[in-house]
Structure 1
Amino acid sequence: MTIRSDRAETDDAGAESGAPGGGASHAPGPAAARGGSPSPADLSAEQLLAAYAAGELSPVEAVDAVLERIERDNPALNAFCLVRPEEAREAAAASAERWRRGRPDGALDGVPTSVKDIHLTRGWPTLKGSVTSPQDGPWEEDSPVVARLRENGAVFVGKTTTPELAWKGVTDSPLAGVTRNPWDLSTTPGGSSGGSAAAVAAGMGPLATGTDGGGSIRIPASFSGICGIKPTWGLVPHYPASPFGSLAHTGPMARTVGDTALMLEVVSGFDARDWMAMPTPEPGLGDVRRSTDPGELVRGMRIAYSPTLGGLDVDPEVARAVAGAAAVFESLGARVEEADPGLPGSLDEFHVLWYSGAAKATEKLTERQRDLLDPGLRGIIEEGLTYSAQDYLTAMALRMEMGARMGRFHTSYDLLITPATPIAAFEAGLESPPHLAGERWTSWAGFSYPFNMTQQPAASVPCGFTGAGLPVGLQVVGPRHADARVLAACRAFELARPWAGRRP
């Protein structure tokens, strides 16, 4: 077993400055800007698959390009805690032979893909960012999301970094060190799926798995300038069961909405190991991917725009970018109205559920092992152990009230749009930005965790940049089971204001 734990210590910033919004056409990728063809590492999964089908590119070439990018950039970014180049090249060669015969095996055959180090992966260690995880296996089983990807021919290149047990909205851990943002190495890519976000943003594979218990897909998607969706709870099966219970979702992360929809199609569906998994959905996300008319996707939709979700503080640059996104939807024929669902404050109740989950996840550790944990994680475990069953039931009662309120809200509005995060990326290695020093990560995640409480689908898509060149994310929230509608709106915005050609 080859486990690589890269600790990035550089503070060099590599951000590209730019204004919110975007042009009407794709900006050139790095290679195109030099007058050459784009590197296969800079192509989307859909572009790779089309090139394979046309015989213009081999999965071997694509995987080689991604592995070269990882070798070049991972020492600075620390997005991967494990890379298996020999296995990836072997899988790519097998894929290339299938494509040569005209018999690809599944919807992602030959696409370089990374797996968050939370998801079980057969033959590879799953350490969950923790020095307390057993390192000797056995590693005999795939989680449902990994199994679906493997069945569809995805080529796994490695496992991505996560904070210990995915407990916070940034990515650093005692095991793997600090993960950094490709747009500015001094900043965090967010978390807990920060390694996946950094990998995708930097061209180290177009697809990655993520988990989201309080924003852990949407926060890093926003900070890192990519797309990610927290699906309706149960749409993507989860095994082993998360100690954070029904707050925890699994979902796709990608550079484009089309790739996000494609990956969600692949990983959705029933798995008997998840006792609360939804039935396999009918096909429908493909329609989102095939559409090229943004107006057709959202015309007539009733969209509520809540700039502060009931009074949250929002950085002015973030607010301007999100307001500009709302105007784009209006220009496409949607009926956009400033409206707020009036959700009750739920921070304390979220803490009861989240901190109790952390305590449950670590209940079998020895005192010596507890001393090795991230100090912040130790702190929430200690608080989680003080809660009673009555506290837990009270928190669950608020969840039910929030779910009912959002259900009624969506009888009037097809979608809700908000900032994905109230701030852009801040200093790597910190749990919260300096002005919130000493506060838990939830103090700045008020746009994300409420929709884990309600189990609704919620996505983040890039909608602009700060003056310092850091990405800004737009959150699109839909009623439960309206995942295709959420991604349709994201696709419309992507068509109207393309971002995928702009790279860190």
Structure 2
Amino acid sequence: MDVAYASASDIAAAVRRGDRSPVAVVDAVLDRIERRNDRLNAYAEVAADAARERAADIERAIDDGRPVGPLAGVPVALKESAASKAGLLRTMGSVPFRDTVSRTDSTVVTRLEAAGAVIVGTTNTPELDHKATTDNPLRGPTRNPFDLSRNAGGSSGGSAAAVADGLAPVAHGKDAGGSLRIPAAWSGVYAFKPTFRRVPDVTRPDGFADELGIRSTHGPITRSVRDAALVLDVIGGHHPRDPSSLPDGPASYRAAVERPIDDLTVAYTPDYGTFPVDRELQETVEDAVEAFGDAGATVEPVEVQIGYTHAELTDAWTTLVGANLAAMNEWLARHDDVDLLRDHREEMTDSLVALLESGTRTTATEYLHHHVVRTAVHDAIEDVFEEYDLLVSPTVCHPPVENATEGSTLGPAEIDGEPVDPRIGWCPTFLLNFTGHPAASVPAGTVGEGLPVGLQIAGPRFADTQVIAASAAFERVRPWADRYRTETAARI
């Protein structure tokens, strides 16, 4: 078994059978990280000693005949800014937090480890997750495994790059505007954003933080749909300490992988009626959409009528995020005597400073008025789902951009001559965070000199298994697994 490109499902099965030592699996992944991460910059911190100890514990359990769980011995990378693991740093890519260490484990970490997973480290993110590219002044950019001069996407960019380059079979991410799907699209991997709070998130001091803001969601990044379903079976399910947590979901996401889709109707939008899209990228996605018809589904173009321009939609997202960041900063100033704008302005990237400053000027009424925009998005998407089972589109509107320096990498400032907000205005993914619908990004092909392109698959709320089934059907018709060996191996 070549651990670098082995699936999590195969690793776990081999470990449970005793055919593969979990210690050997972890050693192989750690060795690959040591050889390749310096240039890729996917990991923020590598927990080598703790991972080896954990793998040895799992091996002893197997030798003793004790159960080890569905993720037995599977190395998993955590998005550093979004999941805490006691004893590991939680810097959020920001110089002011460079020495912050987590004291407890996040719920998602507890569930992963209870299922036998081995946390091998944490992955790089943009500073305070404020943009859709992964670059920060503390660690620099995460490079795209398909072209090291370009960015891996964000904000779960380190996680996506690690999975694409064989530095972990599974990585965790969290998605507040596309942070799972955007880097998956740019890095050529699969990501799944569940229905809001299908995967619980026990946040404190504010347990209701996402209810009135952007609906952020934990989810997996993998190289196959089956592996994502395996992880969702582990991390999903109700949690009483999360006031927004949904009741337990489907009995098995993995069962949905084999479901045919010849009874489904698929709507295709190239732009959600308002986003400019790179021409070559759109052509690649339109070709990929034909895979659903090849799998037996009915595919039709559709006009999504939101009633707002892409600039107005982006402004709503940035306003909500800026206000949330400003509220966090005010909490820090009150309780820890740390004011990022007052004490650390020069240490932060200009784009984050601008977002924090705009957040301080946002009134409560302005904040709530943006929920009218969210409502319009929700209604427009629900209009589609009244007639169709799925809504597919480009995941993002532009191919991977070149990396900058000192944490300043941003997305494109214009597409086809039309200005877009370089922080996230080229990412219609955030529309599904306004609404909480489940959505995935599948590798749809490449543009230019082999740069990955993603196709987004969205479904009605609670129809997570439907999105999984469609993703798996797409993967059967347009398999992408061999691309990692042929495209990424020669680049590092």
TM-score in same-fold range (> 0.5): yes
Cα distance, 1:192 vs structure 2: 0.4
The residue number in structure 2 matching 1:127 is: 91
The residue number in structure 2 matching 1:6 is: none
Cα distance, 1:435 vs structure 2: 4.8
Cα distance, 1:178 vs structure 2: 1.5
Alignment match of 1:449 (pick from 430, 435, 446)? 430
Counterparts of residues 354-433 of structure 1 (less than 5 Å): 354-363=321-330, 364=333, 365-366=338-339, 367-429=342-404, 430-433=409-412
Does 1:110 pair with 2:77?
no
5+ residue gaps, structure 1, are: 1-37
Does 1:257 pair with 2:233?
no
2:29/2:168 contact within 8 Å kept: yes
Q: How many residues align?
A: 460
Alignment match of 1:278 (pick from 243, 246, 252)? 246
* Aligned counterparts of 2:170 and 2:444: Cα–Cα separation in 1: 20
SS at match of 2:375: helix
2:267/2:384 contact within 8 Å kept: no
Cα distance, 1:124 vs structure 2: 1.6
Cα distance, 1:449 vs structure 2: 0.9
Deviates more, 1:279-288 or 1:476-485: 279-288
CA gap of 1:432–1:246, structure 2 versus 1, over 3 A, is: closer
2:94/2:136 contact within 8 Å kept: yes
Alignment match of 1:481 (pick from 462, 471, 486)? 462
* Aligned counterparts of 1:136 and 1:177: Cα–Cα separation in 2: 18
2:76/2:170 contact within 8 Å kept: yes
The residue number in structure 1 matching 2:140 is: 177
Alignment match of 1:348 (pick from 315, 323, 334)? 315
Cα distance, 1:165 vs structure 2: 1.1
Does 1:306 pair with 2:269?
yes
Deviations 1:373-404 (A, max 9, x none): 22210011111122211211111122123223
Alignment match of 2:235 (pick from 255, 260, 267)? 267
* Aligned counterparts of 1:223 and 1:74: Cα–Cα separation in 2: 18
Does 1:164 pair with 2:131?
no
The residue number in structure 2 matching 1:63 is: 26
Cα distance, 1:444 vs structure 2: 1.1
* Aligned counterparts of 1:253 and 1:242: Cα–Cα separation in 2: 26
Alignment match of 2:440 (pick from 450, 453, 459)? 459
Cα distance, 1:495 vs structure 2: 1.1
1:427/1:433 contact within 8 Å kept: no
2:314/2:421 contact within 8 Å kept: no
Counterparts of residues 320-359 of structure 1 (less than 5 Å): 320-345=283-308, 346-359=313-326
| TM-score, normalised relative to structure 2 | 0.89
Cα distance, 1:166 vs structure 2: 0.9
SS at match of 2:19: coil
Cα distance, 1:434 vs structure 2: 6.3
2:16/2:68 contact within 8 Å kept: no
Alignment match of 2:472 (pick from 478, 487, 491)? 491
Cα distance, 1:317 vs structure 2: 2.4
| TM-score, normalised relative to structure 1 | 0.87
- Kindly provide the amino acid, as one letter, of the partner of residue 105 in structure 1: V
* Aligned counterparts of 2:163 and 2:328: Cα–Cα separation in 1: 29
SS at match of 1:233: coil
* Aligned counterparts of 1:226 and 1:136: Cα–Cα separation in 2: 30
The residue number in structure 1 matching 2:104 is: 141
Q: Percent identity?
A: 40
- Kindly provide the amino acid, as one letter, of the partner of residue 305 in structure 1: Y
CA gap of 1:306–1:360, structure 2 versus 1, over 3 A, is: same
Counterparts of residues 227-238 of structure 1 (less than 5 Å): 227-238=190-201
* Aligned counterparts of 1:243 and 1:270: Cα–Cα separation in 2: 18
The residue number in structure 1 matching 2:113 is: 150
SS at match of 1:357: helix
* Aligned counterparts of 2:89 and 2:23: Cα–Cα separation in 1: 25
The residue number in structure 2 matching 1:29 is: none
Deviations 1:208-267 (A, max 9, x none): 110111111110000000000111111111232586644211111111111111111111
* Aligned counterparts of 1:69 and 1:306: Cα–Cα separation in 2: 40
SS at match of 1:337: strand
Cα distance, 1:187 vs structure 2: 0.4
- Kindly provide the amino acid, as one letter, of the partner of residue 124 in structure 1: L
* Aligned counterparts of 1:457 and 1:439: Cα–Cα separation in 2: 25
- Kindly provide the amino acid, as one letter, of the partner of residue 408 in structure 1: D
2:281/2:398 contact within 8 Å kept: yes
SS at match of 2:95: coil
CA gap of 1:136–1:400, structure 2 versus 1, over 3 A, is: closer
1:221/1:253 contact within 8 Å kept: yes
SS at match of 1:42: coil
Deviations 1:56-80 (A, max 9, x none): 3221121111001100111001111
CA RMSD of aligned residues (A): 1.8
CA gap of 1:136–1:317, structure 2 versus 1, over 3 A, is: closer
Larger RCO (CA within 8 A; separation ≥ 6): 1
* Aligned counterparts of 2:124 and 2:136: Cα–Cα separation in 1: 9
Cα distance, 1:97 vs structure 2: 2.5
Cα distance, 1:89 vs structure 2: 1.0
SS at match of 2:155: coil
The residue number in structure 2 matching 1:79 is: 42
5+ residue gaps, structure 2, are: none
1:243/1:361 contact within 8 Å kept: no
Deviates more, 1:146-155 or 1:279-288: 279-288
* Aligned counterparts of 2:229 and 2:363: Cα–Cα separation in 1: 40
